[in-house]
Structure 1
Amino acid sequence: MAAGPPPSAAPLLLLLAALLLARPPPSLQQAISAADLAALLAVKGSLTDLPGASFFSTWDFAAPDPCSSFAGLTCSLSGRVAVLSLGAGGLSGSPGLAGSLSPSLARLTGLTQLILSPGIVTGPIPPELGRLPELRVLSLTNNRLTGPIPASLAALRGLHTLDLSYNQLAGPIPPRLPALPGLKVLILASNRLFGRVPPVSAALLHLDLRKNLLFGQVPPLPPTLRYLSLSGNAMWGPLSGLASLSELVYLDLSMNRFGGPIPPSLFSTPSLQSMLLQRNNLSGGVPAAGAASDPPSYGPGSVVDLSHNALAGELSTALIGVETLYLNNNRLTGSVPKEYVKSVLQGRTRTLYLQHNYISGFPWDRGMAVPDAAEVCLSYNCMAPPVGLEGCPASAGTQPSRPASQCSAFRGGENPRD
């Protein structure tokens, strides 16, 4: 009888067997297509590693199997390039690439993902990319791409994610691009785009257009949207269209020209953890939280910034438990509800800025102490800050309270300057 392998060799044999089973059968393994290899040669000819990078060091066109040896490359079983990740090749901290994007990328017609890592790649986005029928992810972020967003990208009917953020792209957003039926993530932040925001896809979950030159009103948005950032533009109009966004987690419309009241439903959205509406022209007040079956559960990491608007009236309890709460530089009046003091003392609220309002009362008893990790500012209101609450950031100014003439004029219905 033949002897079996020694016990020490058994784990190695099992590992080899597992590796052999994980590999596709030889009949399914095909060499990379000649057309894709020629396209990759053109792509490499238009790009170069920045000093300290070594992405292209593995791109040896004499290699027998580029699909397994080229960094950033994944091929399908048919030998077509399916994923092309240019630049880092999975290495964190790589300085990336320089050069430009070759129109030959469009010859890789099996591409499902095209990703460009941060670097200093310049020039336009090739309009030919609109001829990639299988493309689902196009991410060309953190480079120096210029020119317009090609309108041809609207032909990518299967596109799921488009990220062109942090470049120098200019011009309007192509009108049909945001409305692609399967588009779920659209990130065009930090460019030089201008004009109005076109209609968006009913499937969209994530929309980030911050830090551009966009104007006009917020377009109709799908109720399933979870992330919305339009900050740092020149947009205007009411926020009434946000009332139906019941699944929002993150909202940033700061530093625009939006006016009118804040929709009460935003104070009753259970999922909303960040609401940044500062530096607009918003009016009305902070409405009470609605009678939702599942009220907001503000907790660690929650941020609400409504500062530098024209919000008036008494503060409701809708924002109890927010960890970082900015309500400064508005026209709030009356006494602050005691629940806010309790939230600070319990350590739930770590930042409470109420300075530069017309508040007349804060239920703070002598002997109370602000927790070490918390910060409360009440300066320049219609009251002297209670003992122990005199510390404020330098931006709050040095005057502890408003002149009495301002407070009496405000109560009398006049509109004094802040």
Structure 2
Amino acid sequence: MFGGKINPSLLDLKHLNYLDLSNNDFSGTPIPKFLGSIGSLRYLNLSNARFVGVIPHQLGNLSNLYYLDLQGYGLYANNLQWLSGLPSLQHLDMSHVNLRKASDWLQVTSKLMSLLEFRLSDCELRFIPSTPNGNFSFLVSLDLSGNFFENTFIPLWIFGLPNLVSFDLSDNGFQGPILDDLQNMTSLKHLYLSGNHFNHQIPIWLYSFSHLKFLDLHSNNLQGTISSAIENLTSAISIDFSYNELGGKVPRSLGNLCNLREIKLSSNKWSQEISEILESLSGCLSEKLEILELTDAQLLGHLTGELGMFKNLVKLTFVYNSISGPIPMSLGNLSSLRVLDLANNQFKGSLPQNFGQLSKLETLFIESNMLEGVVSEVHFSNLTRLIELFAFGNRLTLKVSHDWIPPFQIEELNLQSWNLGPKFPQWLCSQRNLRRLDISNTGVLDVVPLSFWDSSSQFEYLNLANNLFHGEIPYCPMIFVYFFSD
């Protein structure tokens, strides 16, 4: 995190052709104008370095530049005419730079005949002209996401980019169906159209994009069903159809996508039980799938042994459904899990003891279910990486030895309404990274140890309400403190 002023002695480096100052903190200082005098520069990366103010037009003197990255908040430009002096530019990223007044953005950049990668995400651009003054015939990557253009529809010239491999128009509010003109862009490997208003069915031709690796259509208003033709997306690595109005059944052919690592189907209207969906995914896909998200998908039924097939799952979320029955033991065998979120369902019974074998688990959310029974040291035996545990809204009892020291250093912990008492849970005093803690209504009738208050300065949120604490409360410089007791 370098900061301060950049010394003009950089100009003494007569042969400097590569300069990367990204991810530092030059907060409050403008980009130095003298950088435009380092004529030998071919690579310049000032991204996320917290420069502020106008981008100096002197950068247009760097005629040898092939790579320019200025992305980051705090910068702005009223026009982009200075880019005309960079005829060799291949990579341009000005994401998050305020270009609201730079109405010439397309006129200038479309004349950069060497440009391969072009990113203007979240730049407050107001309008995409219907025709560019030049052409982007060699363009490989185009990212215009997050601008919320005044255009209601995507201009047709964009669909005539023959070499485009990566295309991102997400978060722009475009309306209507996904235009058929897109089907001519058969070289695409990355397609991101999320956060728009495409309120029609997924076009059948989209499933023929056999080279497509990343497909993101989340947060639209897509209707209808997923076609069984999805099995033709044989190169797919990640598919995101979440937060739409899709319904019917998840096609069994989805399980034939052997390269798929990530599938997100949350917030749709699936007319299936959870076990049937898992069975649909149980082809060759099950051997490599790493992320499965089915949050708020109106799912019923019980989780069964099918989960045991997904040996490489890293993230599994089934939040806000109506899944009932016990949590299956097979979940405890998914040794690669880092995130497990089963919150807001109707799970019953006890927590499987073999959860303690999930040695890579970092986040465990099981709140707002109907779990009951005893949780012991065995449940945490190998959870050395656990940093988040939310388990409130259950009827669980923690029984550990008085001198137990957990194998983890947790950061956020919510055990509201568990049975922890009557003694204060001494093991909390061993947690040096704890920022947010809620052990309200847990049946504790005891003095809070001084060693617990020694760590109070690290807390952002602390809730000890509805217990029977006594003794002194020292000064606690926390953001939020709830300490109501009888």
**TM-score for the superposition, normalised by structure 2:** 0.55
Distance 2:139 2:322 in 1: 46
Structure 2 counterparts to residues 370-389 of structure 1, below 5 A: 373=387, 375=389, 377=391, 379-380=393-394, 384-388=395-399
In structure 2, the CA distance between the partners of 1:270 and 1:363, relative to structure 1 (3 Å rule), is farther
Point out which structure has higher relative CO (alpha carbons under 8 A, 6+ apart). 1
- Matching residue of 2:124: 120
Q: Which SS does the other structure have where 1:264 is aligned?
A: helix
Given that 1:216 and 1:237 are in contact with CA atoms closer than 8 Å, whether structure 2 keeps it comes out as: yes
Give the AA of the match of 2:158: L
- Matching residue of 1:288: 305
User: Alpha carbon RMSD of aligned pairs, Å?
Assistant: 4.4
Give the AA of the match of 2:54: A
How far off its partner does 1:179 sit?
Answer: 6.2
- Matching residue of 1:216: 224
Matched, 1:262 2:277: yes
Given that 1:188 and 1:209 are in contact with CA atoms closer than 8 Å, whether structure 2 keeps it comes out as: yes
Distance 1:349 1:324 in 2: 6
Given that 2:126 and 2:150 are in contact with CA atoms closer than 8 Å, whether structure 1 keeps it comes out as: yes
Higher strand share: 1
Give the AA of the match of 1:252: K
How far off its partner does 1:68 sit?
Answer: 4.6
Identity %: 20
Distance 1:217 1:130 in 2: 40
- Matching residue of 1:173: 178
Q: Deviations along 1:122-180, whole A, 9 cap, x unmatched?
A: 11253559964333221223334231112443333322110122334333321241563
- Matching residue of 2:137: 133
Q: Which SS does the other structure have where 1:275 is aligned?
A: strand
Structure 2 counterparts to residues 4-403 of structure 1, below 5 A: 52-54=53-55, 56-59=57-60, 66=63, 68=65, 83=90, 85=92, 87=94, 95=98, 98-100=101-103, 101-102=105-106, 106=110, 111-116=115-120, 118-124=122-128, 126-128=130-132, 132-147=136-151, 148-177=153-182, 180-198=185-203, 199-200=205-206, 201-219=209-227, 220-221=229-230, 222-240=233-251, 241-260=253-272, 261-264=276-279, 266=281, 269-289=286-306, 296-298=311-313, 302-320=314-332, 321=335, 322-343=337-358, 347-357=359-369, 359=371, 364-365=375-376, 373=387, 375=389, 377=391, 379-380=393-394, 384-388=395-399, 391-392=415-416
Give the AA of the match of 2:221: L
Q: Deviations along 1:67-117, whole A, 9 cap, x unmatched?
A: 559967999xxx9766362637xxxx8555643343575555664333325
Give the AA of the match of 1:87: M
In structure 2, the CA distance between the partners of 1:270 and 1:133, relative to structure 1 (3 Å rule), is same
In structure 2, the CA distance between the partners of 1:365 and 1:271, relative to structure 1 (3 Å rule), is same
Distance 2:97 2:246 in 1: 37
In structure 2, the CA distance between the partners of 1:351 and 1:129, relative to structure 1 (3 Å rule), is farther
In structure 2, the CA distance between the partners of 1:135 and 1:366, relative to structure 1 (3 Å rule), is closer
**TM-score for the superposition, normalised by structure 1:** 0.63
Distance 2:150 2:177 in 1: 13
- Structure 2: segments with no counterpart, 5+ residues: 1-13, 18-50, 70-81, 401-413, 418-435, 443-486
Number of residue-to-residue matches in the alignment: 330
